[in-house]
A and B are shown apart, each in its own frame.
Chain A
């Protein structure tokens, strides 16, 4: 299990500071929701964990191993045991569902990857979509394929950046149940970004509330609900 620690992390895009001396601990094996408004730094945290951004200050460690320090990536993205489900799902449009899943496995030179792909597709009940292209799938099916593609590589940490943003309420509820189940079935640390506190309360073990690049509150759902922090109260009210 992979605990994630941010120490004194500062990060900015051009002149705009996004994270300011951030200290954050994310427990291993839990479903942690990063909750906050636009520009609060939620997505940046995911991208830093994945190694897609390099913070200008501070250090990050995953499972007690420092992966970033002093503006240097010490562990490359593919070696961090991480999978990412992007907001736009990032399914390669010219690959079939099978090819989308196989691309990474082939790169890792895994034998029997066909079996693994079949297995994961059947766990999501989408084995019949194997030869379809992303544009031939419904929104919900695309979500499942994106998650299956992330899980087929057996990551220790799954990062999800508002993956349900474009779904209707009914499908969203169904997918949230799926996500909770995935966390337990695959024994993962799951970090889930959202701006919707109701969505977070529905699935999270832990919640981190962010505001302007800083942690305003952190704790279980109950602890967050009872927080006396002014920002948290305001945020949850709306």
Chain B
């Protein structure tokens, strides 16, 4: 099965890191990218760079800012291939965002069931 591991952090948590702490987290994120089973992933630029698109009256409308439905900030993701949810959970538990109070959402990818 393939799972998306979606990474959320509290607003300001990433910005509050010292350069050394940010460097350490970054190294750990890249190290996870090399784990067997990790098919891909991306770290996103800060929320200040976000743009939102919706349809209004059938036409696309662009506005500044993230889709702020949650208080938490969506910061990136991994795609992980493994046998079951427990294995996906073990991998998710290693994501550095957790160390700074973040949350990981684990969701199966469509069409990739066992």
Does A associate with B in a complex?
no
Which B residues form the contact surface with A (CB < 8 A)?
none
